[in-house]
Amino acid sequence: MTTETNASSCCGSGSCGSGGTAVDVQAAGVTTVYKVSGMTCGHCEGAVSQEISVLDGVSAVTAVAKTGEVTVTSAAPLDEESVRTAVDEAGYKLVGRA
């Protein structure tokens, strides 16, 4: 399966703003930071956060477009392929762990 990533992202110029979108309240567990390419704005952060937040065991997600980092807190370590699939569903590319 080939996945294409739109380098211009949802806003093209990245003029939507920045800051980070958090989903849920952070709870105790395993925290992993991932690098995601293609995020340029708050909408991008929200899309990635929403897709990852529905994975089993995830209690918090914070995506920051400016750094391309997504911090995920979960009850147990996540399967990286599941995270990759969620990021792909949002329209972005998981580079790997930060």
Q: What is the pLDDT of residue 27?
A: 45
Q: What is the pLDDT of residue 8?
A: 45
User: If residue 84 lies in a helix (H) or strand (E), which one and from where to where?
Assistant: helix 80-90
- Domains in the chain (CATH in brackets) are 21-97 (3.30.70.100)
Per-residue model confidence as pLDDT tens digits over 29-71 = 999 999 999 999 999 999 999 999 999 999 999 999 999 999 9
| Mean pLDDT score across all residues of the chain | 83
Q: Is the pTM value of this prediction over 0.95?
A: no
Sheet holding 30-37, edge to edge: 21-23, 58-64, 69-74, 30-37, 93-97
